[in-house]
Amino acid sequence: MSDPAAPAVRRRLSAPERRRQLVGIGLAKIVEKPIQDLSMDDIAAEAGISRGLLFHYFPTKTDYYLACIAAAGRRILRNTAPDEALPGEQQVEMVTRLMVEQIERRRAFYLALVHGHGVADPRVSEVMDSVRDGSTDRVVRALDVPARRRDVVRAWWAYTEDRALTWSAVPTRERPVPVSRLVAECVAALHALLAIDVAVDE
């Protein structure tokens, strides 16, 4: 029988596990302060490793930050995935609602991703581009939108994102519309844009 008073034995993490641990710590912190204000010493201490070992996994602070926001982008796409067993129209409504709710829950986090906290690296915008591209592809598949009209859907996502950010900035009791109405308006805007595109083609 083990002695409950004995100190816990720390398991040695593999390189992928250590990277995941460090990224997880970073994800919890990048919404609190700009990347330039993050203390790599604090990150290393929380992980129980030396600063030198942290830089073994991530050569620079920017590399570390980019790994964190790339993980955040993947998380957003996981959290906003629709049920592909649903009819296309319902998938679009679902993915729109999930994205609005994601932005509402983690508005500061989302803004940190969108604006990059002042990190001058083109890879920052690539992360948000990957989120928007993934969301766009889901809508294109759900509605069977022709590839030549994909840009219309992507532009609509930018509109929806802006609506959600503006709406979520208002205190709950003062919001002009409930989330259900906001989602309905965004979905209606998508269909209006696609209808205009069809009209131009004809």
Establish if 27 belongs to a structural domain.
Answer: no
How many domains are there within the chain? 1
Q: Is 131 exposed, middle or buried (0-12, 13-18, 19+ CB in 10 A)?
A: buried
CA distances from 79 to 76, 106, 164, 188 (A): 5, 12, 16, 23
What is the C-alpha separation between 142 and 27, in angstroms, rounded? 31
Mark the ranges of the chain whose per-residue pLDDT is less than 50: 1-2, 4-9
| Domain limits for position 143 | 85-201
Establish if 109 belongs to a structural domain.
Answer: yes
Establish if 3 belongs to a structural domain.
Answer: no
**Which pLDDT value is given to residue 1?**
47
Establish if 166 belongs to a structural domain.
Answer: yes
Structure tokens at 26: 């970073």
**Which pLDDT value is given to residue 8?**
38
Establish if 1 belongs to a structural domain.
Answer: no
Establish if 122 belongs to a structural domain.
Answer: yes
Establish if 129 belongs to a structural domain.
Answer: yes
Establish if 5 belongs to a structural domain.
Answer: no
**Which pLDDT value is given to residue 120?**
60
Q: How does DSSP classify residue 48?
A: T
What is the C-alpha separation between 153 and 189, in angstroms, rounded? 10
